[in-house]
Amino acid sequence: MAVELKVPPLGESITEAVVGKWNKKKGEAVTADEPLVVLETDKVTIDVPAPAAGAILTIAFNEGDKVRVGDVLGTIEAGAGASAPQAAAPAAAPAPAAAAPTAAAGADVRMTPTARKIVEENKLDVAQLKGSGTGGRITKEDALGQLNRPAEAPVQRAPAPAAPSGPRPRADREERVKMTPLRRRVAERLVQAQSTAAILTTFNEVDMGAVMDLRKQHQDKFLARHGVKLGFMSFFIRAAVEALKAFPQVNGEIDGDDVVFKHYYDIGVAVSGSRGLVVPVVRDADTLSMAELEKKVGDYGVRARNDKLTLAELQGGTFTITNGGIFGSMLSTPIINPPQTGILGMHNIVERPVARNGQVVIRPIMYLALSYDHRLIDGREAVQFLVRIKDCIEDPTRLLLEI
């Protein structure tokens, strides 16, 4: 009995993927639920399991091919016995794909009132709109961008590098590969951030001595009790939450002509995955203990390297923290993750000579960077926000007393 292996629902607003890798070849045996093929989308990587035990009968798409929800990737010759009935349920799973045309038609597409008015008055094709608002919500800027697209033709040059640009004198020593969907999406988001936000960066330095001494003093007991090491990230997440409470516009979002102030703290933590940078979100970070924060961040890091993060874990976020210091970065200007209005950059810790009470002493210093959207955040608030983080890190008792 031949069982079809279909592209499953990929998540909200995602209808297309690229075949990344087949784990088995035609004719090879597979077991039920064994990861059979890897699909790459612009947001997440998905393993498609075998719907039944048996052997691969056909492979319809090769690595690098584009597929859509519901497409038949191949077929499996199911084995005898109880394996065949297991195939019936997965075969019906792609049914939600029927809902895609409804969303494309605009019936249930989320958009701001201003954006909807622009779409209706100008009869724009909603399927061509990509929402940059929270949860993929279409904003006024998205609608206007689609409306004015013919006049902005030069922006369409992104695909150009994929095509030969002419004779290349040293082509025999070059290699050309297609960008992965995730890398393309990261590139689009970075360009979007720089073209739609007024990004500025302010800097400060923080003495890490107090935090390092605290870790050294309590590391063994912390590890024994909680089963996870006490790192730096939990301190910075807690410090960021305290600063966001004091300066709520840094936790806000510009949505058309409105400013959305968010009274919750979903902190994105940039981590390096196997296929590029991803930003999983620590939900309600203000309610988590230091141990819970360390466990969550550690789990995200492991699963990012193994391509096991889910789409839901990568969506949303009110503020982002990125740590270039783990790669040796001394200083950088991080780029905002739209539609957020701020991102904190951590860097490496270096022993530097500093003045303390009229004496030159050697202290472990980290440079901090805050990139912010100047449309919403003034320089005064940005500087004070970063100083608040500096104060919390240099005197960690502030985090406990919330002062």
Active site members: 374, 378
H/E segment holding residue 388: helix 379-394
What phi and psi values does residue 121 have, to the nearest 5 degrees? -70, -30
Instruction: Give every CB contact of residue 170 below 8 A, 6+ residues apart in sequence.
Output: none
Residue 210: CB atoms within 10 Å:
16
3-state secondary structure of 355: strand
Alpha-carbon Rg for the chain, nearest whole angstrom, is: 25
**CA–CA distance from 268 to each of 216, 219, 283, 295 (Å)?**
27, 25, 8, 15
Which residues sit opposite 281 in a β-bridge?
268
Instruction: Give every CB contact of residue 9 below 8 A, 6+ residues apart in sequence.
Output: 69, 93, 94, 96, 97
Asked whether the CA dihedral 211, 217, 220, 225 is positive or negative, the reply is: negative
**CA–CA distance from 196 to each of 23, 158, 336 (Å)?**
41, 17, 11
Q: Given the structure tokens 């689609």, which residue do they identify?
A: 146
